[in-house]
Structure 1
Amino acid sequence: MQTVLIVIHLMVVLALVGVVLLQRSEGGGLGIGGGSGFMTARGAANALTRTTAILAVAFFATSLALSLLARYQEQPVNILDRLPTTEQGQTGGAGILDQLGPSETPAEQPAQPQVPSGQ
């Protein structure tokens, strides 16, 4: 369910970005204002405004649905509950970091500074 909502959300986002970029700027900020197209300026503005509003509502709806789905889908798991236990019910004598195991590569010793010889 979450994957389907994410795909729908991404398609709505891409469509919304495309529709916003198609709209004519008021001050000609991008330098591509004017020209004749398949629709009149007023008809294109009405269609793009309506399409932008519909896509904005779809964007908010999918955003809310995804956030609610993430909130109520599953409870978080405490990683300390997954530690192996001994017969006494404790996590053993070692600490949590000791149970993770040693690192694969040994730590390198820092180089000793060279003492300059006085001549």
Structure 2
Amino acid sequence: MNARHVLVIGLLALAALFIAWFAPHPSPVAELLVFAFPPLALAMGVLRRRRTAPFWAGVLGLAWFSHGVMVAWSRPAERGFALAEVLLALVVIFAASLPGLRARFAKKKA
């Protein structure tokens, strides 16, 4: 499994987490649009090999990581969802960054 597959799986899992987290709320439409739609759209972009989709997944991964830490710290009732968000955000960030890291630290051919 390559980094692109891991990235797509991480983004889809993150979207599923947000759907499970926010769907029981009284009016989940805005929350689902703000939280669940971006990882779904990015997963589609990665699958279609859009060049900028992994970059934006990594950028938004930083925001998802920060959101998860903030919620885990401030709302104990939602800590499980928040820590899952942190874990999935780290997966997304790592998978989005892996091709660039491999290119940067690859052995130069003489």
Bucket of the pairwise TM-score, normalised by the shorter protein: 0.3 to 0.5
Normalised by the size of structure 2, how large is the TM-score? 0.37
Relative to total residues, which structure has the larger helix share, 1 or 2?
Answer: 2
Normalised by the size of structure 1, how large is the TM-score? 0.35
Larger radius of gyration: 1
Tell me: higher relative CO, structure 1 or 2? Use CA pairs within 8 A at least 6 residues apart.
2
